[in-house]
Structure 1
Amino acid sequence: MEETPPAEQPAAAAPAAPKSEWKDLGSFLLKLALIVVVVRSFLFSPFNIPSESMLPRLLIGDYLFITKFNYGYSRHSLPFSLPLLPNMHWSDPARGDVVVFKAPPFDRNDWIKRVIGLPGDTVQMVDGQLVLNGKPVPKERIADFVVPASPNFPAGTPADPVPDHGCKVEFVKTGANGQAECHIPRFRETLPGGKSYEVLDEGEQDSDNTVVFTVPPGHVFLMGDNRDNSADSRFPQTSDENRSGIRFVPMENLEGKAVVTFWSTDGSASWLLPWTWFTAARWSRIGEGF
């Protein structure tokens, strides 16, 4: 009697390659970084206020979003101003827009100012009065700008009458709660076309009288709202980055337009004390538009 040969056994399946969690994590982080770069370069980007040059609208410690697509794109739209994009300019800003830009002549630091003059405009300051295309811009005295002294905006003292990024001693008063407050003369300017905004004027300064500036093609004339504490287009460019003005700013240096404040802090918070993240917040400033 013949023996029946044993049935052939199916070949064992090859073991599945071990799944690399580190590889998946790396792929996810790379995709996330790419999305962040694209969004920040072409759509929206955050910006924080480092100085008092745009008081009263912007305080040190304000965080805002800018839109990147209003005026066009250039290498300055990309992180570190990587030279990967041609200049693509399709729209001039409007007078009164608040813009973030790479500050000439060094093109390294991001600054924020208000657009005052467009190509072909003439701009001059006469006794603290802004004169645009030969006509004085209406300037109306309104109530003082009042802001509490804080770590982000310290009050001057007899020993330190003009603190860095703070309030000069002559404008310091004691508030109802016994805390130091800064009271600075405030005015409302209204540009041709109706754009209105507030400016600060601390009194007679050298910058209150200038020559007539004619804005060249492809450039803008920018000024800070805190007129006596702003290095802007009234001042020439120099070789000292810490003391340089910006004069006329090329359109390609414009990175975006300020649109809304999304956070604000007075500087008193500590990373090690989470509850101070909330007590330091200036809640009333969050959500303010431009």
Structure 2
Amino acid sequence: MAYLGRGWNAIAYSIGGVCIFIAQLWLLDAPSTAAFGYLLISAWRLIGLLHGYRTARKMPANIVFPWYSRWYSLALIFSIVPLTLAMLVRSFLFQPFTIPSSSMLPNLRSGDYMFAQKYVYGYSRYSFPYGFGPEHRMFGHGPDRGDVVVFRGSMNPGGDFVKRVVGLPGDRIQMKSGILYLNGSAVEREPVGDLTYQSVTVHAFKETLPSGRSYTIVEQVDDARGDNTKEFIVPDGHYFVLGDNRDNSLDSRFDMGFVPDDNIYAKAALLLFNSEDKSRQASWIQ
């Protein structure tokens, strides 16, 4: 439509396409609704094509087109606008990540490609590229217990980590024989079978926090290095995080320590696919 001098129509179709794309992220949760999402965006493109064809037929031969309908203007617009839009979406809404390890097994695996929500916790220093965000969190709140968060490591400022929050400021956290203790009480867990990953068999458990929120964790034994710890008291402005793969995760039990609130900048939300395992389907991250 921009080529035909219909700027507002072009903007409307662009906004509609973005809205459909965002809706498609939600529809990816089930194969049946995912197919509907692809059909919807195909229909939107067909509508735009037919609308453009009918508009072109009705135009007089001597029409003078505006500046943005010239080929060089369109080339400039379509090279700058997508890049700008991608940067805005990445900074304020969603950011893609690739999972490099199995520390969050079984919920996230090596090779997983996921989207994290940037707006859930507001915006802090690492919300924007190169650490140009505000020094302290704005327009939001910290994570809840059970959230899978993306944060910048204190000991490795250039590295991003993905772990699950289990301790809030003021909480007392301890591991005893592989069982998580929160404020002196054992967190409920029940076995849900075994899982074999990369030729290693681990035991899976459903862990349920006092709030009723549950998720799956795995471990091999109950006496690994991180299965029996001292009691940690989470200081103000910090969080205690664990990997779901309890015997294969470097987290707050070890040198990583407590995670400062301002270092947490996104919530893991949507698993898209796995570059190594094609059987992994799109799903929400629990």
TM-score by length of 1: 0.69
Amino acid at match of 1:45: Q
1:129 maps to which of 179, 192, 204: 179
Amino acid at match of 2:238: H
Judging by fraction of residues, say which structure has more helix: 2
> Residue 138 of structure 1 corresponds to which residue in structure 2?
188
Q: Does residue 262 in structure 1 map to residue 260 in structure 2?
A: no
Matches within 5 A, 1:148-187: 149=198, 172=199, 182-187=200-205
Q: Is the 8 A contact 1:73 1:85 kept in 2?
A: no
Matches of 2:189 and 2:275, distance apart in 1? 30
> Residue 129 of structure 2 corresponds to which residue in structure 1?
79
Matches of 1:61 and 1:248, distance apart in 2? 27
Q: Is the 8 A contact 1:200 1:225 kept in 2?
A: yes
Matches within 5 A, 1:1-290: 25-83=75-133, 87-88=137-138, 90-147=140-197, 149=198, 172=199, 182-203=200-221, 204-236=223-255, 246-266=256-276, 281-283=278-280, 285-290=281-286
Structure 1 position 23, deviation (Å) = 6.8
Structure 1 position 42, deviation (Å) = 0.8
Structure 1 position 22, deviation (Å) = 6.1
Matches of 2:227 and 2:283, distance apart in 1? 33
Structure 1 position 112, deviation (Å) = 0.4
Structure 1 position 262, deviation (Å) = 1.1
Matches of 2:174 and 2:254, distance apart in 1? 12
- Radius of gyration: which is bigger? 1
Sequence identity percentage: 42
The CA RMSD measured in Å over matched residues stands at 2.2
Q: Which runs of 5+ in 2 are unaligned?
A: 1-66
Matches of 2:164 and 2:185, distance apart in 1? 19
Structure 1 position 75, deviation (Å) = 2.2
Structure 1 position 86, deviation (Å) = 5.3
Q: Is the 8 A contact 1:44 1:67 kept in 2?
A: yes
Matches of 2:228 and 2:139, distance apart in 1? 33
Q: Is the 8 A contact 2:123 2:133 kept in 1?
A: no
Secondary structure of 2:226 counterpart:
helix
Matches of 2:282 and 2:273, distance apart in 1? 5
Structure 1 position 258, deviation (Å) = 1.2
Amino acid at match of 1:233: S
Secondary structure of 2:157 counterpart:
coil
Matches of 2:152 and 2:72, distance apart in 1? 38
Secondary structure of 1:206 counterpart:
coil
Structure 1 position 83, deviation (Å) = 4.9
Structure 1 position 82, deviation (Å) = 2.5
Matches of 1:84 and 1:135, distance apart in 2? 37
Structure 1 position 71, deviation (Å) = 1.1
Count residues in correspondence.
Answer: 218
Q: Is the 8 A contact 1:127 1:208 kept in 2?
A: yes
Structure 1 position 205, deviation (Å) = 1.1
Amino acid at match of 2:183: N
* TM-superposition CA deviations, 1:150-178 (whole Å, max 9, x none): xxxxxxxxxxxxxxxxxxxxxx4xxxxxx
Are the structure 2 counterparts of residues 89 and 216 from structure 1 closer, same or farther at C-alpha, using a change threshold of 3 Å? farther
Matches of 1:183 and 1:117, distance apart in 2? 28
Q: Is the 8 A contact 1:264 1:286 kept in 2?
A: no
Structure 1 position 131, deviation (Å) = 0.5
- Stretch deviating more after TM superposition (185-194 or 83-92): 83-92
Detail structure 1 runs of 4+ shifted over 4 Å in the superposition.
Answer: 19-24, 83-86
